[in-house]
Structure 1
Amino acid sequence: MNYTKALKIEPGNAICYSGYREGQRPGVAYPDYDQVKEDLLILKDHWKYIRLYDCGPHSETVLKVIEEERLDLKVMLGAYIEAEMNNFGCPWGGTYPDEVLQENKKVNLNKIDKLIGFANKYSDIIFSLSVGNEACVDWTDHYVPVESVIKYVRLVKAGAKQPVTFCENYVPWLHKLEPLVAEIDFISIHTYPVWEYQNILNALEYTKSNYYSVAHKYPDKPVVITEAGWATNSNGRGIDQENVNEDLQDIYYNELVEWSKQDNILTFVFEAFDEPWKGSPDPNEPEKHWGLFKVDRTPKLVMQKILEKNHQNN
């Protein structure tokens, strides 16, 4: 089903944006207005749509910059909901005292209220809303039951006018999230061939398989890719070191974007800039190395080529 009609937007390139730099991280230190402005001036020349993950201070700054600088960018805004159940299958945590889980339910309601507030305040900038991110997949450390997600979707739909979704790995959409599909306006999936030990030769076909497994199951519901990308470094934990570098990222990015245009799929590339705060202290942790730009905002190979081509054309 065509996403442009469902979301009332024009086709365009999309990217996930989180602007945390060296020494910054959520809850500790946030990018300031000028740093965010610098980032968005880079992004606006290549992408029309950006995805933000939460309603915290960073996202608030991003929305202010877009509004005050009158930038031609539209936002998918999310609420990052916290664990409401223990997930004993999570390999890196996912279990909490009962009092924490109960408090998280109150916190999540506050986050949903904030999402609705931003949606109404910045209605000309925010084009869609997500009630969570990877909160139902088997390996998540912030597990939220499907019935809670449905409750949050209904609250947001009652309080805001933008289309509402939930961002999740493609696998839960095939079975676990069936009750949710009727509640949302469009489905948002994540697909990462390199996390599933696929090499670059079959990466795009694997992405297509992930996407169409969901799209064919729900032919009457638009399906958007809200995360797909290729890391450029790894410590070998979860991703083979020889399977990630800037050359492979360049190949996957271009194949992904070309296919998305051909098949009229809104695809948010993960992600704009490297984020050193993520994952373990190991500097080669894969979570730190998904950006198309390094943390110092210098372009990696894929963007070097795009910038050079644009310069030649101008």
Structure 2
Amino acid sequence: MLGPTGASGTKTGGRSLTERTPLNLPQGNAICYSGYREGQSPGEQIFPSREEILEDLLILQKNWTLLRLYDCSLHAERVLEVIETEGLPFKVLLGAYLAAELNNFGCPWGGTYTEEQLALNRAENAAELERLIRLAQRYEALVFAVAVGNECTVEWSDHIVAVPQMVAYVQHVKQALRQPVTFCENYVPWITKLAPLVEVLDFISVHTYPVWEYKRIEEAISYTRDNVESVARCYPDKPVIITEAGWATHSNGRGMPLELVSESLQEVYYRALMSWSQEAGILTFVFEAFDEPWKGSPDPMEPEKHWGLFTVDRRPKLVMQGLFGLPS
């Protein structure tokens, strides 16, 4: 966590990152968890069962104590229920997914909606925030913080929400909850347009993906560090964590060159990320636990489907084989 956090000795705005005011967030190994398997999808509302979720969590508890959940769907509700009923040793950063409230005509994968759909989205966003509040209150002992939205202000998003509306949403949630409140976003909008939102947040959550920006593995961790520190320099008194950082293991060559992805490169980046973030004291959620075939295009080599440290059938990839053994 940037506060205290940052590369050792690094100065940001005249202050060492380790001199920032600390926020009382838990520390430990953290990972993004979304448990959708073959034939399951949040869009189609086909959710993992409680038994499947328990299977996943029993795998993850071997190395992680902190989970990030993306929305307040039945999937998230089941995850929280399983953690509580089984007495599993997890704490959760619980997210609310916000749908598009504005058109983004420049989005390359579709960000254009009818006014009727945008109105429906606004109503659903209000309902999602109420679900966030309800779950965070119900599972207050498990939910250590909440995130109001995910990647809905970056220029390429297909679910844009205006920054003033984001401020209002955060203020509404903060009035209802005792947990700290954040927003999860790519590093660029934090630098360019999110200062009004930062004022009402308890901490900043940054996403950084060197491989999406055509960085080779040799420069990847320095690029990640630069991404995070560029945000920290803008807000010297606001804690910063990483809520997504990872490396894909397959690509179809569209948007991500084939030579930049593999299980061996994922392992190199993961090791470097863990070493740097732990030394610097930055709470970092690795993206992600398991491959998710519902994501992206129908192409099975679509890179969006292949960020897991485990395959969709729960076999450890190279990066996890030292801890979990070779896949059977």
- Return the TM-score normalized by structure 1: 0.96
**1:76-113 deviation digits (Å, cap 9, x = unpaired):** 00110000000011001101001111121111111111
1:21 to 8, 12, 37: 37
1:92 to 92, 103, 109: 109
**1:116-160 deviation digits (Å, cap 9, x = unpaired):** 000100000000101100000000000000011111100110011
Amino acid at match of 1:8: N
Amino acid at match of 1:137: V
> Is the 1:7–1:128 Cα contact (8 Å) retained in structure 2?
no
Question: Does 1:56 pair with 2:58?
Answer: no
Partner SS state of residue 234, structure 2:
coil
2:224 to 207, 211, 229: 207
Alpha-carbon spacing, 1:62–1:5, altered in 2? closer, same or farther (3 Å): farther
RMSD of equivalent CA atoms: 1.4
Question: Does 1:81 pair with 2:83?
Answer: no
Question: What is the CA distance between 1:29 and its match in structure 2?
Answer: 1.3
Question: Does 1:177 pair with 2:194?
Answer: yes
Partner SS state of residue 288, structure 2:
coil
2:233 to 216, 222, 246: 216
Question: What is the CA distance between 1:28 and its match in structure 2?
Answer: 3.3
Amino acid at match of 2:40: Q
Q: Which runs of 5+ in 1 are unaligned?
A: 310-314
CA distance in 2, matches of 1:169, 1:181: 14
2:56 to 39, 46, 58: 39
2:277 to 256, 260, 265: 260
Deviating runs (4+, > 6 A) in structure 1?
A: none
Question: What is the CA distance between 1:7 and its match in structure 2?
Answer: 4.4
What number of residue pairs does the alignment pair up?
309
CA distance in 2, matches of 1:298, 1:214: 36
User: Mapping of 1:96-175 within 5 angstroms?
Assistant: 96-175=113-192
Question: What is the CA distance between 1:114 and its match in structure 2?
Answer: 0.7
CA distance in 2, matches of 1:253, 1:308: 17
| Aligned counterpart, 1:312 | none
- Return the TM-score normalized by structure 2: 0.92
CA distance in 2, matches of 1:182, 1:28: 35
Partner SS state of residue 81, structure 1:
coil
Amino acid at match of 2:91: K
CA distance in 2, matches of 1:227, 1:275: 15
CA distance in 1, matches of 2:202, 2:269: 29
CA distance in 2, matches of 1:87, 1:145: 11
Amino acid at match of 1:16: C
Percent identity, aligned pairs only, is 59
Question: Does 1:12 pair with 2:28?
Answer: yes
